[in-house]
Amino acid sequence: MTRFKSILDIGVTVLVVVAASIVIWRQFVPTGRSQFPSPVEDAKGMIPAELATVVRGTGQVALIEFSDFQCPFCGHHARDVEPLIRRAFIEAGLLREVFINYPLSNHPNAQIASEAAMCAGNQGKFWEMHDALFLNQAALGESDLTDRAREVGLNLALFSKCVRGGETRQVIERHKSAGRAFSVQSTPSFFVGLVRSDGSVELKKRISGALPFSEFRSAILAITPKELRGRVGEVALDVRASSGEHHR
């Protein structure tokens, strides 16, 4: 009987400890969907015109990307998702793509790659260099950057002078300051907004991470003025358009 009572006492003690642990856990750990914040959320703020200068397209809606040339997730977006966005929205005249450099300190070649891309931009070939760098992220050393510059048809003397002289470093520092001001902690990070008459962008949505095309489509269409939706091509409206984005 004494042994049975001891076992019973131990069992009761264990149940009490478990119940107390559950109560404490619920107090400190959020429950339900709140512990998994949505990767697409509303945003507020303004990107000034002087930061929105690296642009592809002329649309009234802007997709602003904070990106790192050595980031593998940025590479996935550039190779597999961005071409769909370009086809669906940029070529339709609805969207402009804005690139803001955000090289992370844990990527040793990201800063020099950003400088190289901006130096290419000084010769009118930022996007060609952008595509070339993301196509082969394993080759971002100094000699590799020269090879990419040659491939996209840059004046190599001007390119080398620009990179070695750090001519675009100050612009990239302004880009990084803007990222910190908007609490960008990882790449890629995106904002979707409306372009104002002075070239600034009023932010409406924030997209965190390299998400599928369907998420970008939804966020872009959500803020697109009704009178402009007639420009949206079939790719943007067809859910099946995103089916090939992971096939590369």
Side chain identity, residue 166: G
Asked if residue 54 is part of any domain, the answer here is: yes
Q: How many CB atoms lie within 10 A of CB 61?
A: 22
CA distance 135 to 154: 18
Statement to judge: residues 169 and 70 lie in one domain: yes
Q: What angle do CA 196, 241, 52 make, to 5 degrees?
A: 20
Q: What is the mean pLDDT of residues 179-185?
A: 96
Q: At what angle do helices 156-164 and 142-151 cross, to 10 degrees?
A: 150
In the structure, what pLDDT confidence band is assigned to residue 241 with cuts at 50, 70 and 90? very low
Q: What is the mean pLDDT of residues 25-38?
A: 47
Write out the H or E segment, with its range, that includes residue 85: helix 82-85
pLDDT at 137 over 90: yes
Statement to judge: residues 12 and 105 lie in one domain: no
pLDDT at 236: 62
pLDDT at 119 over 80: yes
Q: Is-contact 127 158, C-beta < 8 A?
A: no
pLDDT at 246: 39
CA distance 132 to 177: 26
> Which tens digits make up the pLDDT trace of 50-76?
999 999 999 999 999 999 999 999 999
Q: In 3D, which of 134, 244, 175, 187 has the Cα closest to residue 144?
A: 134
Q: Taking the alpha carbons of 127, 128, 129, 130 in that order, is the dihedral positive or negative?
A: positive
Q: How many CB atoms lie within 10 A of CB 227?
A: 8
Asked if residue 244 is part of any domain, the answer here is: no
Statement to judge: residues 22 and 58 lie in one domain: no
Length of the chain in residues, anyone? Answer: 248
Q: What angle do CA 120, 169, 46 make, to 5 degrees?
A: 90
Question: Residue 70 corresponds to which tokens in the numbers above?
Answer: 């050595």
pLDDT at 157 over 60: yes
pLDDT at 23: 41
pLDDT at 30: 43
Statement to judge: residues 141 and 214 lie in one domain: yes
pLDDT at 168 over 50: yes
pLDDT at 84: 94
Statement to judge: residues 50 and 98 lie in one domain: yes
Domain span at residue 123?
40-235
In angstroms, the Cα distances linking 160 to 101, 120, 136, 170, 205 are: 20, 10, 20, 17, 38
pLDDT at 16: 45
Q: Is-contact 200 49, C-beta < 8 A?
A: yes
Asked if residue 197 is part of any domain, the answer here is: yes
pLDDT at 245 over 80: no
Choose between 233 and 60: higher pLDDT: 60
Partner residues linked to 62 by β-bridges: 96, 193
Average pLDDT score, the chain: 85
In the structure, what pLDDT confidence band is assigned to residue 227 with cuts at 50, 70 and 90? confident
Statement to judge: residues 23 and 66 lie in one domain: no
Residue 62, helix vs strand vs coil: strand
pLDDT at 243: 44
pLDDT at 24: 43
**Least confidently predicted of 5-14, 53-62, 132-141, 162-171:** 5-14
Phi, psi of 80 (to 5 degrees): -110, -30
In the structure, what pLDDT confidence band is assigned to residue 31 with cuts at 50, 70 and 90? very low
Statement to judge: residues 203 and 147 lie in one domain: yes
Number of domains the chain is built from:
2
Question: Residue 200 corresponds to which tokens in the numbers above?
Answer: 């600034």
